[in-house]
Amino acid sequence: MNALKARRKDLGLSQLEVDDKAGLQDGYCGKLEAWDRDSGRRLGPVSFDLLLAAYGVGLVFFETRPPSERPEHDPSQLGLSLEGGGMRRHHDGEFVRLPGRNRRREAKAAAGTAAAEALLEIREAAE
């Protein structure tokens, strides 16, 4: 926005004259230039295009350097296997699931099962 403000001043235009040339409502250019204040407005695609036309400038994009080539990654060098079951570990001949985001739910279910078994033992002992 500072570059557009400098262009306006170089052309010797007031904010109201820019509003008139761009077809914006009166005072809008001032709000755009004061974008960092509470009463300011941010520059959108429509107002940006209108301001560029009012200032008689255009916008051109060009690449300053060629894009670097991305190296190909060898999957065998990754720490985790890409095949199914890569998030499991082998323990005593059985696959044991690593703790995940459902740890709390699983712990609650295990505690409920343990409590039900304890209650069943108490009932059987009472009979």
Q: What angle do CA 69, 75, 79 make, to 5 degrees?
A: 115
Residue labelled with tokens 């009472």: 126
Q: Is the pLDDT of residue 112 over 70?
A: yes
Length of the chain: 127
Residue range 13-48, pLDDT digits in tens:
999 999 999 898 888 888 888 888 887 888 888 888
What pLDDT, on a 0 to 100 scale, did the predictor assign at position 123? 87
Domains in the chain: ranges and CATH: 2-55 (1.10.260.40)
* pLDDT value at residue 60: 82
Per-position DSSP letters for 90-127, written without gaps between them: EETTEEEEPP-TTHHHHHHHHHHHHHHHHHHHHHHHH-
Give residue 9's pLDDT: 92
What pLDDT is stored for residue 14 in this prediction? 92
pLDDT digits (tens, 9 = 90+) for 57-109: 888 877 777 767 777 766 666 555 545 554 444 445 555 555 555 666 777 77
Using CA atoms, how far apart are residues 97 and 57, in angstroms rounded to an integer?
Answer: 62
Q: What is the pTM of this model?
A: 0.45
Per-residue pLDDT, 46: 86
Give Cβ neighbours of residue 98 (< 8 Å, ≥ 6 apart): 87, 88, 89
Please state, as a whole number, how many other Cβ atoms lie within 10 Å of the Cβ of residue 50: 19
